[in-house]
Structure 1
Amino acid sequence: MQHSSTQPKISLVVSDLSASGVLRWGGAGVRPFLLAQALQQLGYGVEVVGFQFGEPATLSSESGVTLQTVPGGEYPQFFQSIRQLLGHIQGDIIYAYKPKPTSLGVALLKKSMSNRPVIADIDDWELSWHGGDRFEYRPSLKQLGRDILKPKGALRNPDHPLYLKWMEGFVSKADLVTTHTRFLQKRFGGTYIPNGKDINLFNPDRYDTDTSRQRYGLSDYFILMFPGAPRPYKGLEDVLEALDRLNQPHLRLAIVGGSPYDDYDSQLIERWGRWIIKLPSYPYQQMPEVVAAADVIVVPQRNEPAALAQFPLKLTDGMAMAKPILATRVGDIPEILGDTGYLVEPNAPDQLMEKVQWILQNWPEAQERGRQARERCVQLYSIQAMADGLSEVIAPMVAKIPITTLSDRLSNR
C-alpha cells in the first residue's frame, strides 16, 4: 500500500543501527524492520532512527524505509548524540523498539518535548541477560566513583543493566505497549503482536529440496536443522544427546551460522562432533534455500527466562517452509505450533529420541504436518497478520492525533 501524505508518519527508534545490532543481514527479518513492513502495508510512512554503536551497515534495498543514524558512544559525550537524534525524529507517532535508555528513553524524552504519542515495543527481557529480577547494583562508594568517573567506567555505558532496570519502570509512561510473546505481555502488559514472516520469500514452492541438499552438502543424511545461534538455553545439547542414544549413522544435526557470542558451538563440536554439520552464516535472502535442505527443524528451547521471553524466528522459518517441526513445550512455542508440529518436554533427550524415531517411522504424516504448519504460518504469523494486529492498536491512536500536528508536518515539506 502506498503511503498517503495525509496518513501519519511513524518513527521507529532503535537502540543500535549497526552491523552488530539490528542491521545484521541488512535488517531483513529483524523485529524493527518486520514492524516497518507491516506498518507500510497499512499505508503509514515509516522512518527508522537510532544510534550506531558498531560497524556501519547498509539497509536492505527492498525495505523502502528512511534510515537515519547518529554515532553512539559513552556518557557524558553520549548526551550530545541524544540531542542529535532527537532532532531527527520527525514522526507523528514514535515507536520505540526495546525498553532501553537508547530507544524508549529517547522516545519518552521526545514525547515530553513535543507531546507526540509513544508506543513501546518489547521483544526480549533485556534484564534476563543480567540475572533478571535478581539483578542488583550495590557498589561501594569507591566502586561507584570508578564506574562513573574512570574511562570505560561501567556506568558510562548507556545500556548498563542498572539503566535497563530503571527503564522497565518507565514502560508504563508509553501510551501503548506491544510485545511479541505472552511472557512479555504478562510482565509488561500491552498487546500481543507476534513476529510476522515474509511468506513469499519463505515459500517452499520456490525451492527444490534435492538441489538445496546437494548445494549444502547434506544429501547423504537425514537432517535435523537448527538455523540459529547456539546458546545453552536453546537445548541443542539435548538433541545431540538424543542422537548419541539413537546412534544411527544417517542422522545429523545441521547448525546454521554458529554462535556470534562465544565459542559455545565449538564446545558442542568437541563433544558431539560426529553428529554435527556446521554451516556458515548466510544472507537472510538465502535462508529459505538453506531451510529447504532440512528434513526437520528443531527448536529445543529450555525452560529458562531468556527462552520464555523470545519468539524463535527459526520456528516460523520452518513453518513457512512446510517443514516438520520438533520443539519443546516452552513459552509460546505450543501456541505458535498448535497441532502442526511435534512437542516434547524441555531438558528431555529421551523424549527427543523417541520423537525422532517416530518421525522417521511415520514420514508421510510428518510431511503432512509440515504442510499444515505452512498454512498456520500464513494465517497467523505472516507480515499481513502482523499488520492486522498493528492496525487495531494504532488506529485509535491515529484518531487522537491533532489535525494541527499533521498540518505542521505537511507545511514543512
Structure 2
Amino acid sequence: MKISILCFDLAGNAAGRAFLLARLLEPLGTVEVVGPCYGDGVWEPVASERVPWRALPGRRLPRLAASLPAMLRLADGDLLYACKPRLTSAGIGYLKRIGSRTPLLLDIDDWEVGFFLRSGFWGTIGRAVNLGNPTGLPWTWLMERLHRTADAITVASRFLERRFGGTLIPHARDTDAWRPGADDPAESRRRLGVDKGRVVMFLGTARSYKGIQDLCEAMERLGRPQVTLALVGTDPTSAAGRALADRYPGIRLVGRVPFAEVPRYLAAADIVVVPQRDTSDTRGQTPAKLFDAMALARPIVSTRVSMIPEILDGCGCLVTPGDVGALAGAIGYLLDHPEEAAALGQKARARCVADYSFTAARRRLFPLVERVMAGR
C-alpha cells in the first residue's frame, strides 16, 4: 500500500506534523509527503529526515488553479492523509476523493481559523477578503466546514476532538530512539557556550502566543545570573532574536536545529519551559516540544492551556498562563529542588512511553487506517 501525506506547505512548520505521520505509518507500506513549497526548500528541522517527499512550487490564486492537475497527480497513494484543513492539502484530498474515490483521512492539529481571530475585528475582516492567498481565512474556513468530506478524522488535542470529532492522535516521539543519557550534558552545554551554572531552556519558534516574553521576564524577575536562559529555535539574526538579545542580554539564542539534533540540545537543560499563553492560537494546540522534553526525561514547567494539564498531570509543574510571578516561582522551585525535578522528569518519560510514543500512537492509528481501507 502507498500512502500520500498531503502537506499544505512543505517550507513551513506544518511539515513537522506531516513528517511525523509519515514516520508513524512507515510499517504499513510506502509513505510519501507531497504538496506545494512556498519557500526555498523543505522546512529546515525536518529536511534531513529520511522521509520521501515531492513538492511543487507554491502559487497564489488564481495561478494556483493551473497547478491543480500536477498537485492531483502528486497525490497518487492508495490512501490520502491530508494534514490540516487547508486548500492545498485537504482541498486536494477532497478533489481527489470526488474524482477517484481514493480513501481520505484528514488530520487536524490546530484550530486553523483560530489563528485569524487574534487579529481583532478589522484584521479578521481584512483577511476575509484576501481571496488570493490559498492559506487565507476564506479558504481555511471553507476547508474546515468541509471536514466531514473525509472518510475519517484524526486530531491532536481534546479541544479539536470536541470541535471536529475524530480519533485523538497527539504528537508522539520515538522513545526507543530518544533515550535519556544518550548525549553528554557537558558537551551539550559547550555547544550552547555555557561553561558552568544551570540552564533553563525553551525549544521552538519565538512567537508571542508561546509566552516567550513571559519566560524572559520570569527569568529576569528570578534574578539568578548563574542560570542561563537558552532559546533554541530562535534565529539570533532575525528581528525577533535581535530584539530579545537587546532586551535580555544574558540569554543564549540558537537558530533552528534539525529534528535529529534536538536531543543533543535538550541534554543541556536542567529545566524545559513551555509557557503557552491562553489565546485563540493556542486553545487547540498541543505543543510538540512538550513531548521532546518528556521523551528525554527533562523537568518541565508549563501552563494550564488546552490539553497540557492532562499531559503533565503528576509529571510536571503547571502555572496560570501569563502569570510571570508564578512562572518564576515554579522555575526557582525546581532549580532549588533538583532531586524532585529529576523525579518529575522520570515520570514525564514514563508517561511519554506509555501514552505518547510511536507505539502508543500506532495502537490508535493503525486500526483507523484498516477501517478506512476496508470501506473503500
Using the size of structure 1 for normalisation, the TM-score is 0.83
**Conserved in 2, the CA contact under 8 Å of 1:194 and 1:381?**
yes
Q: CA deviation at 1:22?
A: 4.7
Alignment of 1:394-405 (within 5 A): 394-401=369-376
1:338 is matched with 313
**Aligned equivalent of 1:244:** 220
**CA–CA distance in 1 between the matches of 2:236 and 2:112?**
18
CA distance in 1, matches of 2:236, 2:30: 33
Number of residue pairs the alignment of both structures matches? 373
User: Superposed, which structure 2 residues align to 1:4-403 within 5 Å?
Assistant: 8-18=1-11, 20=12, 22=14, 30-41=16-27, 43-57=28-42, 63-65=50-52, 67-131=53-117, 154-258=130-234, 263-274=239-250, 276-401=251-376
| Paired residue secondary structure (1:297) | strand
Q: TM-score, normalised by structure 2?
A: 0.91
1:127/1:262 Cα in 2 relative to 1: closer, same or farther (>3 Å)? Answer: farther
Q: Displacement, 1:361? A: 2.4
In structure 2, give the amino acid aligned to 1:120.
L
Matched residue SS, 1:73: coil
Quickly say closer, same or farther: Cα 1:122–1:213, change in 2 above 3 A: same
CA contact (8 A) 1:99 1:167 kept: yes
> Partner letter of residue 160 of structure 1?
G
SS in 1 for 2:181: helix
Change (3 A) 1:261 1:85: farther
User: Which segments of 5 or more consecutive residues in structure 1 lack a partner in the other structure?
Assistant: 1-7, 24-29, 148-153, 402-413
Q: Deviations over 1:379-404 (max 9, x none)?
A: 11112222111013222112223xxx
Structure 1 261/270 Cα, relative in aligned 2: closer, same or farther at 3 Å? closer
Aligned-pair CA distance for 1:261: 12
Distance in 2, Cα, partners of 1:169 & 1:261:
40
The one-letter code matched in structure 2 to 1:357 is G
Contact 2:115 2:281 in 1 (8 A): yes
3-state SS, counterpart of residue 350 of structure 2: helix
Compared CA separation, residues 134 and 120, structure 1 to 2 (3 A): farther
SS of aligned partner of 1:99: coil
Give CA-to-partner distance per residue, 1:271-327, whole Å, 9 cap, x none. Answer: 3323x1222332222111011011100011111121222221221111111110011
CA distance in 2 between partners of 1:261 and 1:196 (Å): 31
Distance change (3 Å), C-alpha of 1:89 and 1:280: closer
CA RMSD of aligned residues (A): 2.5
Q: Mark the CA change 1:338 to 1:294 in structure 2 (over 3 Å): closer, same or farther.
A: same
For 1:360 and 1:160, locate their aligned partners in 2 and report how far apart those are by CA, in whole Å: 43
Larger Rg: 1
Q: Percent identity?
A: 37
Distance 1:21 1:297, change over 3 A: closer
Moved more, 228-237 or 102-111: 228-237
CA contact (8 A) 1:204 1:320 kept: yes
Report the equivalent of 1:410: none
Q: Look up the SS of the partner of 1:224 in the other structure.
A: strand
Q: Counterpart of 1:237 in 2: which secondary structure?
A: helix
